[in-house]
Structure 1
Amino acid sequence: MAESKWEGKASANLVGSTPQEVWPHLADFFNLTKYLPSIDTCYKIEGEDGKPGLIRYCSSTITSSSGGSDEVVIKWCHEKLLEIDPSKWYFNYEALDNNMGIRSYFSTIKILPIDGGEEDGCEIEWSYSADPIEGFTFDSFLAYIDTSIHTMAENIGKAIQSTG
């Protein structure tokens, strides 16, 4: 029997940073290497920057020890921007070709004001729907998303502080 779709979400707060300050860091579809250290490479394959249809290449280098020697593997994925709305601070995308065991993956990243007041800070939310992914359980994938969104929020917060 096939497993059902995985659906989940994780979020992280950026106290003292407004959605307007955070949005440019997320809206750049190629910024992943700045805010998510596990991503080595992220660049445009095709499409117009900031427009639906844009496709990016992302990769991570993974080193594993096996039989006394280190094996280096590059895990990669093409991701397509499906929708982006700067006025509502969100975008969604899907995974396309990859060597990561992803068959179907759709995700939305959005920024929400904390407590309805933009001046108090904001929350970055990452939600997804996916077929089960090779090498992960549902819980381990959710933990990966949760760790990733918190790392991104922390690094975006540092970037905002360093320019402010």
Structure 2
Amino acid sequence: MEAVQQQAKWKGEAKTDLPGAKAELIWPLLEDFFGLDKWFPTLSTCIPVEGVSGKPGCVRFCAGFKSPVDGSDKQTVNWTKQKLLFIDPTHMTFSYSIIDGNVGFHSYVSTVTVLPKEDGCEIQWLYEVEPVEGWRLEQLDYFIGTGLNVMARRMEEALCAMEDALRA
């Protein structure tokens, strides 16, 4: 009988600080489960597939273009279906899993939390996934980390725009 060696799941964490942004203002932007495309840089689409946004069991379809690495002009569309597993507005945290897609993520589960800080807040993104063919863990850490940083900047800009509109 042949022994099957199974690699341990990859586990990663990304964090970003939002100085001056109160957690209570950032949370509603993240809590909108069907609105991820407003914030995450590689997504052009995030639409409801099933359920009510913010209710466990709801499913979103996310898609975006992946630029080729071979120098050609051919772009491919990466897509996933993601299911909200758990949400706790009091503790400003939720978990979701990727249930289908063409990006090679199997058994992906992520938990996103907004943590209040004295000078603003921090967004923490924890994830675990089976090793992804064609990737190294460091690449996935970089992808999620840079995506989270862009999300945070876009959220800060949106809050500033809302504040400016209220002052006008």
Q: What TM-score do you get using the length of structure 2 for normalisation?
A: 0.89
Q: 1:49 to 1:69 in 2, by over 3 A?
A: closer
Which residue of structure 2 aligns with residue 148 of structure 1? 147
Q: Is the 8 A contact 1:5 1:131 kept in 2?
A: yes
RMSD, aligned CA? 1.4
1:92-145 C-alpha deviation (Å, 9 max, x unpaired): 00001111111110000000112xx3xx20000000011011221011101111
Mapping of residues 55-74 of structure 1, within 5 Å: 55-64=59-68, 69-74=72-77
Structure 2 gap ranges (5+): 164-168
1:61-103 CA deviation, whole Å, 9 max, x = no partner? 123265x852221110000000111111011000011111111
SS at match of 1:147: helix
Q: Is the 8 A contact 2:51 2:58 kept in 1?
A: yes
State how many pairs are aligned.
159
Shift of residue 33 of structure 1?
A: 1.5
SS at match of 1:24: helix
Q: Does the alignment pair 1:100 with 2:76? A: no
**Residue identity matched to 1:50:** G
Letter in 1 for 2:152: A
Give matches, 1:9-158, under 5 Å: 9-64=13-68, 69-114=72-117, 117=118, 120-158=119-157
SS in structure 2 of the partner of residue 151 of structure 1: helix
Q: In structure 2, what is the Cα distance between the partners aligned to 1:61 and 1:30?
A: 18
Q: Partner residue of 1:160?
A: 159
The aligned amino acid for 1:9 is E
Change (3 A) 1:86 1:101: same
Q: CA deviation at 1:4?
A: 1.0
Counterpart AA for 1:156:
M
- SS in structure 2 of the partner of residue 23 of structure 1: helix
**More strand by proportion, 1 or 2?**
1
Distance 2:72 2:14 in 1: 36
- The alignment partner of 2:27 has SS state of helix
TM superposition outliers: structure 1 runs of 4+ over 6 Å: none
Identity of aligned residues (%): 38
Give the counterpart letter for 1:147 in structure 2.
T
Unaligned stretches of 5+ residues in structure 1: none
The structure-2 alpha-carbon separation of the partners of 1:65 and 1:133, relative to structure 1 and needing over 3 Å to count, comes to closer
Q: Please tell me the residue identity of whatever aligns with 1:39.
A: L
| Contact 2:78/2:102 (<8 A) preserved | yes
The higher radius of gyration belongs to 2
